[in-house]
Amino acid sequence: MATSAPSGLTATARTAWWWRSTAARAGPPPAPRSHTRAVSSALAETSSPPPPKATPLAITENGAAFHDYVDPEGEVHDPERIHYLDEHFRAVHRALADGVDVRGYFVWSLLDNFEWAEGYSKRFGLVYVDFATSTRVLKDSATWYRRVIGRNGLDAGVHDDRAG
């Protein structure tokens, strides 16, 4: 199950895509920050009938594009991506606690790349790629994600890598 819209859409466009691609719903699409509710709802809806007969699910692409840049110290700070991923991991965790059979979650993407809708203007990767030189720089989100994987869990709250 892919929870992401066609590559490169803004958060608002992704939310609109989600609502258009599912059954008709009353009211306008939610603001981008409400996207995690859509993920939780989709996981619950697509997992029925209830366990143990539910279909195993995998979120095959989920990420967010931002205008990332290397600062003068050679670092890439992307707190928006950390917040986005943290919220979505928590939504999946809630779905798991509710009995949804989620078997995988794949972050989009490891490296910055060309995206059909955004071109090279926004970046999705956990690793910044200088397209002219192919130099790669771990973003704060890559360091944060490494810690999440290492401890097999999230912090009590959103963790901004620069906070320690």
Q: Which pLDDT tens digit goes with each residue over 19-57?
A: 444 434 444 434 345 467 777 777 777 666 655 667 889
Which parts of the chain sit beneath pLDDT 50? Answer: 1-5, 16-32, 34, 159-164
138 - beta bridge partners?
Answer: 127
For the chain, what is the mean pLDDT? Answer: 79
Q: Write down the pTM of the prediction.
A: 0.70
pLDDT of residue 8: 54
Are 38 and 18 a contacting pair, CB within 8 Å? yes
The domain segmentation of the chain, as residue ranges, is 11-23+31-157
pLDDT of residue 27: 47
**Residue showing tokens 């869990």:** 153
Are 92 and 102 a contacting pair, CB within 8 Å? yes
What is the chain's alpha carbon radius of gyration, rounded to the nearest angstrom?
17
- CA dist., res. 126 & res. 50, Å (int): 35
Which of 103-113 are b and which e, b meaning 16 or more Cβ less than 10 Å from the residue's Cβ?
eebebbbbebe
